[in-house]
Structure 1
Amino acid sequence: MEVNIKDITIRRAATVDLPKLAEFLQFLVEAERPFDPTLKEGEIFYYNIADFISDEKSELLVIDYKDQIVGCGYAQIRAAESYQKHDLFGYLGFMYVSPELRGNGLNNLLMDDLKKWILSKGITEVRLQVYHENEAAIRAYEKAGFKQILTTMRCDIS
C-alpha cells in the first residue's frame, strides 16, 4: 500500500500505546523464530516496553498513520565496553513496521528521528542487532548507513 508521507506522524510512545506495542513485539518474535532456534515457545517479551516510555535513557517512538499505530522503534543510551573508543553508544531496537506499509520509507523516517535523539545526547555511535539470515532487514539497515562488524555464533553440544 502506498503511503502519503503527509499522513504520517512519528511521536513519542505513551502508555495508551502499550497494548498495540505488545502486539508488535509478538509479531517481531514470530518473524525472528525462523532465525533463532533458541527462542522459547509461546509469548516472549524481550524487554518491558513500559520501561522505554519512562526511562530517561530511552526514546520509544511510534509511527502513526491516519490515527493508527503502524510501527515503532526505540533508541537507548548504553555504556560501551571499556576497550572501545567511545564511552556511550545509542542502541536501536524494536524496529517494526506493519507489513502492508513496508517499502514506503517509514523505517528510515523512524531511524532518522531516533538518530536525532541520540545526537541530541551528544552521542555519535549507533548500533543495532539483526539476525544474519534476515537479509531484508540487513539491506534496510545498510541503506541507513549501518555496516556489519560481528557475527554471533552458537553450537548445541548436547
Structure 2
Amino acid sequence: MTTREATEQDLNTLLEFEQGIVTTERPFNITLIDGEIHYYDLLHLIQSPDASVIVAVENNEIVGSGYALIKQTEKDYYNFNSFAYLGFMYVKPEYRGRGINKLVLDELIRWARSRGISEIRLDVYDQNEAAVKAYEKAGFEPLLLTMRLK
C-alpha cells in the first residue's frame, strides 16, 4: 500500500468516492437532499497550493482518499492563525479495516506540519461510531458538538 498526491487524472475515481461518502452519511443527516451531492471542489483542491489531496493505492487501484486544506481562523481569540481542515476521508468498503484511513491521515498530518500548521481539525457525525473511533485512534479528540432543532 502506498500513498501519493492525487492528480487530475484521478478525478473520476474521486468523484465516485465523494458519492460513497454521501451514501455513508445519509443515515446520519436526514436534511441532505435526494440525488447526487457534491461536497467538494475536488479539482480546485488538487490544484491548490494550500491543499493536499492524498490517495491510497494498492496494485495500481485507488482504494482510499482524503484532503487537508489550510484555512485561516475566523476568530481573533485563538492561539493559532491558521489550521488544517481534513475531509474527504474515504476507503472503498472491501478495503476497510486494513489501516488505510490511518495511512492517509498520517500523510495529511505530515503535510500540514511541514507547512508549520499545528492545529488540525475535521468534522464527523457523532453517530458515525466507526469513523469517530478511527479518528480517536489516530489521536483526535472531540471539541464541539453541533446540535439542531427541527
TM-score, normalising length: structure 1: 0.92
What SS class does the counterpart of residue 136 from structure 1 fall into? helix
* Pair 1:97 & 2:128 matched: no
Q: Give the superposition deviation at 1:82.
A: 1.8
- Could you tell me which residue of structure 1 aligns to residue 8 of structure 2? 15
- Could you tell me which residue of structure 2 aligns to residue 5 of structure 1? none
Structure with the greater alpha carbon radius of gyration: 1
Provide, for residues 68-113 of structure 1, a one-character-per-residue CA deviation record: whole Å limited to 9, x for no partner: 1111000010112222111001111000011111111111111111
- Could you tell me which residue of structure 1 aligns to residue 133 of structure 2? 139
- Could you tell me which residue of structure 2 aligns to residue 64 of structure 1? 57
Moved over 6 A (4+): none
TM-score, normalising length: structure 2: 0.97
Structure 1 residue corresponding to 2:82, chosen from 81, 88, 106:
88
Q: What are structure 1's unaligned runs of at least 5 residues?
A: 1-7
Code of the residue aligned with 1:94 in structure 2: it is F
Question: What fraction of aligned residue pairs are identical, expressed as a percent?
Answer: 48
For the aligned residue pairs, the C-alpha RMSD in angstroms reads: 0.7
- Could you tell me which residue of structure 1 aligns to residue 27 of structure 2? 34
Q: Give the superposition deviation at 1:27.
A: 0.6
Q: How many residues align?
A: 149
- Could you tell me which residue of structure 2 aligns to residue 107 of structure 1? 101
Structure 2 residue corresponding to 1:77, chosen from 70, 77, 91:
70
What SS class does the counterpart of residue 101 from structure 2 fall into? helix
